[in-house]
Amino acid sequence: MMRLTKLNGMLELEKRPETWTRRFRPCGLSQLAANKASQLVNHPNPKTMLWPRSSDNWLPKTSLGSFPIRFPSKALASDTGWHVDASFAGDAPDNYLEWRINVHSKGRALLMLFLFSDVTEDDAPTLIRERSHLDVAKLLGEEGEEGLSFVQLAEKLVRLPKRNEVSATGKAGTVYLCHPFIVHAAQEHRGKNPKFMAQPALMTKRDFDISQTAALHCPVEEAILKGIK
């Protein structure tokens, strides 16, 4: 865990509930805020945590991307499907639903969740299926280099073994570092304050190689092989 500070725009939004007109809103950051976010994600603490999981096979972040903000609402959310984040472009690069995932996790080292607000069970915490990355590895192992599109993989998740579900709760400053194949989902916000979270892609310097000598495997590759077997 590292301590993240709330950016000015977040604090202002929390004070103005009359602006909470939508259940969900992706929010960009000003350049100043983006620079602060970059300093946070490249802080020595998370970098120390990243090293043992993916060795040096990850690229420093220059920003945290957009912030998916969820607001309290009694209405059902329409974007709560279980999925695995895609990591490389398919035939239509501008359509994320056509992006792909393969057994080498091409393009992505880890799934990262940065909490910029306190998140309880009522505050729409991301749901995570424990050990689901092993099931996804086995599934992708049958699809070769091409892998599956975001939608194709999502449709196959219903066939996977039932796994225990846990919530990504925590105080502002909590950072979750997950295997890139972990199955996760958003959910409705039943709390009182907006939820601020960043979910930037941690990209790899080079594709993971599960065929290389075992001594050279990082934990991400070891988990993929464990799932395939």
Question: What's the N-to-C CA distance of the chain in angstroms?
Answer: 32
Q: Domains in the chain: how many in total? A: 1
Q: Is residue 221 part of a domain?
A: yes
Q: Is the pLDDT of residue 40 over 90?
A: no
Task: Give the start-end residues of each E strand in 55-194.
Answer: 67-70, 100-101, 110-115, 127-129, 148-149, 165-167, 175-178, 184-185
Residue 161 DSSP SS3: coil
Mean pLDDT of all residues in the chain?
82
Q: Is residue 2 part of a domain?
A: no
CATH number for the domain that contains residue 165: 2.60.120
Q: Is residue 132 part of a domain?
A: yes
Q: What is the pTM of this model?
A: 0.83
Q: Is residue 3 part of a domain?
A: no
Q: Is residue 1 part of a domain?
A: no
Q: Which amino acid is at 14?
A: E
Q: Is residue 94 part of a domain?
A: yes
Residues in the chain: 229
Q: Which of 159, 176, 166, 181 is nearest to 227 (CA)?
A: 181
Domain enclosing residue 167, as ranges: 8-228
Q: Which two tokens stand for residue 154?
A: 């999502």
Q: Is residue 176 part of a domain?
A: yes
CB 126 within 8 A of CB 186: yes
Give residue-wise pLDDT tens across range 153-174: 999 999 999 999 999 999 998 9
Q: Is residue 164 part of a domain?
A: yes
